[in-house]
Amino acid sequence: MGGKLNRESLEVEKTQPKFKDGDIVALVVRKCTHIAIFQSRQGAYIGFHAVLCQNDELLLEEPFREDVGDIELRLATDSEKQQLFEALAKESKQWDAGKKMIIDLKQKVELKPFDKVLVRHQKTEEWSANIFSHTDKTDEYLDYVCVNGRWEFCIPYEGNESLLGTTKDVEDRYD
C-alpha cells in the first residue's frame, strides 16, 4: 500500500521520505515539477537553498514553502540535477555540497589588447587605470602586461569604475 494509517480518520496517508540538507530533490506541486536543493523541514514549512521553477525562474533567496498536503518530494534524476546546476551556472553560482551553500563562481574574463583595465601589484595598493596588452605567464606573479608595465591584478575597467583610486576589493570574482 505504501503509507501510514491515520488512526482518527482510518485513512492511509502518503508518507514523505526523509531528506537531508543538500539533497537535490524534485518538488511536485499540482502536477508542476520544480527542482530544488533541500535544506530542512520545520513543521509545515519546507526550506530550500535554491529552487528552479518549472518556468525556469531560479529562486535563491532561501525559498520556503508551506506544505498543505499538496507537495510530493522525491530525489531528483540526474538530468534534473543537471538542469539545476546549469541554471545556477548561468547566474555565476554553484552548489558547494561540502559547505552546504550556494557560492559565487569566478567570472571568466577575456581581455583583449587595448581594453581599458584597472591594475595593481598587491591588495593594499590603489587601483590605477591602464591599457591591456597581453598575458605572459613567464613571470611568477606578474601575468598581466599593460602599456606601462606588468601587474599581478588586472580587471576590466567597465563595471568597476568605482574602484579607481581605491584599495577596495572587487565584488565580482574574476578568473
Find, among 52, 136, 41, the residue nearest to 88 by Cα: 52
Q: What is the DSSP letter of 157?
A: S
User: How sure is the predictor about 151, in pLDDT bands with cuts at 50, 70 and 90?
Assistant: very high
- Is residue 103 within 8 A of residue 94, CB to CB? The reply is yes
User: How sure is the predictor about 145, in pLDDT bands with cuts at 50, 70 and 90?
Assistant: very high
Q: Domain map of the chain by residue range?
A: 4-96, 106-175
Q: Containing H/E element for 85? A: helix 78-90
pLDDT of residue 104: 85
User: How sure is the predictor about 97, in pLDDT bands with cuts at 50, 70 and 90?
Assistant: very high
Q: What is the DSSP letter of 65?
A: E
pLDDT of residue 162: 94
Q: What pTM was estimated for this model as a whole?
A: 0.59
What is the mean pLDDT of the segment spanning 135-161? Answer: 91
What is the CATH T-level fold of the domain 4-96, as seen in this structure? SH3 type barrels. (2.30.30)
- Is residue 48 within 8 A of residue 64, CB to CB? The reply is yes
Find, among 148, 159, 150, 151, the residue nearest to 109 by Cα: 159
pLDDT of residue 117: 97
What are 4-51's pLDDT values in tens digits? 666 777 776 655 668 999 999 998 888 899 999 999 988 888 999 999
**Low-confidence winner among 23-32, 44-53, 103-112, 162-171 (lowest mean pLDDT):** 103-112
pLDDT of residue 30: 85
- The helix, strand and coil proportions of the chain, stated in percent and rounded to the nearest 5, come to 10, 45, 45
> Cell digits for 123?
591588495
pLDDT of residue 150: 95
| Torsion sign, CA atoms 107, 112, 116, 121 | positive
Find, among 50, 132, 125, the residue nearest to 91 by Cα: 50
**Which residue do the cell numbers 530550500 mark?**
48
Q: What angle do CA 9, 40, 6 make, to 5 degrees?
A: 10
Largest Cα span, the chain: 82
Find, among 122, 119, 108, 113, the residue nearest to 164 by Cα: 119
Q: What is the mean pLDDT of the chain?
A: 87
Is the confidence at residue 115, as pLDDT, over 50?
A: yes
User: How sure is the predictor about 1, in pLDDT bands with cuts at 50, 70 and 90?
Assistant: very low
